[in-house]
C-alpha cells in the first residue's frame, strides 16, 4: 500500500466550511428587512403587538449606548466629534445622549467589558447593584449618579433595563436572584412605560441629565 502523500494543511477537513465574513452593511439591511416584515405582520390585524414594536426604540437606544461606549474605549478611542459626525448630530448632542463616566455618570465597567455579548446573569447583577431601592435613594447605590427629578435610572440601568426585560426568559435562575422589589420594578406595566417612551421619541431630550425611559416591550410577565 502506497504512503499517503497528501499534505493535511492543504486539505480541508470533511464537513468543515470556511467562515463567511458578513459585513455590517449586510447586517443593517437584514435588520431593516426584519423590521419592515414585522410592521407588515402587525398591520395585518395584530393590534396587540403594536406596543412591542414601538418598544423596540428603547432597545435600539440601549445597544447604541453599548456600541458608543465600545468605540470610545481602547484600542479605538474615537472622539466625540467623530462619533457625532457618524450620527449626524453635534458633538454636544452626542456627548449628552451617550456620554460616559466623565460626561453623564458611570456606565458600569462590566457592561463595557462584555459589550453586546453580555450575559443575562451579568445584566441581573448590574441591575441589582444599580437599583435605587425602595424607598428610592437620592443617588444610585452602584455609581453615585444623582437622580434628576422624576428619574430613578442611572445611565447604567437605563442601558440594562430594556436588555434584561427582553432577555429575562433566557436565564430564569439568574433573574430569580432579584429581590421582589427589583423584579416588580423591572416588570412595571407596559402602558406606563410605553406612553413615556412615545413622548420621549417625539421630543428632544430637554437637558443633559435626562435619562431615556425604558420599558418592557415584550409585555407583562411576572413569572420566573
Q: What string of pLDDT tens digits covers the 224 residues of the chain? A: 556 565 555 555 555 555 666 688 888 899 999 999 999 999 999 999 898 888 888 788 788 888 888 888 888 888 888 898 998 887 767 776 776 544 445 678 888 888 878 999 999 999 998 898 888 888 888 777 888 888 888 888 888 999 999 999 999 999 999 999 999 999 875 444 444 444 444 444 444 444 444 434 434 444 44
pTM: 0.47
Determine the longest span between alpha carbons in the chain, in angstroms. 84
Which among 28, 27, 98, 43 is positioned nearest to 68, based on CA atoms?
98
Three-class SS of residue 77? coil
Please give the grid coordinates belonging to residue 56. 423596540
> Got the DSSP string for 103-151?
TTSPPPHHHHHHGGG--HHHHHHHHHHT--TTTTPSB-TTT-PBPPTT-
**Cβ burial 89-112 (10 Å sphere, 16+ → b, else e):** eeeebbbbbbbbeeebbbbbebbb
Phi, psi (deg, nearest 5) at residue 165: -60, -45
Q: What are the structural domain ranges in the chain?
A: 25-202
Q: How many CB atoms lie within 10 A of CB 133?
A: 13
Amino acid at each position: 500500500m502506497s504512503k499517503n502523500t497528501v499534505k493535511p494543511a492543504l486539505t480541508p477537513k470533511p464537513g468543515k466550511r470556511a467562515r463567511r465574513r458578513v459585513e455590517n452593511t449586510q447586517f443593517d439591511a437584514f435588520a431593516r428587512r426584519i423590521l419592515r416584515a414585522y410592521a407588515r405582520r402587525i398591520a395585518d390585524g395584530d393590534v396587540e403587538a403594536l406596543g412591542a414594536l414601538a418598544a423596540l426604540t428603547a432597545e435600539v437606544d440601549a445597544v447604541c449606548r453599548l456600541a458608543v461606549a465600545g468605540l470610545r474605549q481602547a484600542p479605538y478611542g474615537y472622539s466625540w466629534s467623530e462619533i457625532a459626525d457618524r450620527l449626524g448630530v453635534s458633538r454636544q448632542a452626542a456627548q449628552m445622549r451617550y456620554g460616559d463616566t466623565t460626561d453623564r455618570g458611570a456606565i458600569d465597567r462590566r457592561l463595557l467589558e462584555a459589550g453586546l455579548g453580555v450575559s443575562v446573569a451579568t445584566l441581573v447583577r448590574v441591575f441589582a447593584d444599580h437599583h435605587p431601592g425602595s424607598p428610592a435613594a437620592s443617588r444610585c447605590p452602584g455609581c453615585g449618579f444623582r437622580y434628576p427629578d422624576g428619574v430613578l435610572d442611572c445611565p447604567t440601568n437605563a442601558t440594562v433595563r430594556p436588555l434584561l426585560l427582553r432577555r429575562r426568559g433566557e436565564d430564569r435562575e439568574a433573574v430569580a436572584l432579584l429581590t421582589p422589589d427589583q423584579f416588580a420594578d423591572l416588570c412595571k406595566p407596559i402602558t406606563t412605560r410605553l406612553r413615556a417612551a412615545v413622548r420621549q421619541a417625539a421630543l428632544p431630550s430637554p437637558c443633559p441629565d435626562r435619562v431615556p425611559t425604558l420599558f418592557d416591550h415584550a409585555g407583562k410577565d411576572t413569572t420566573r
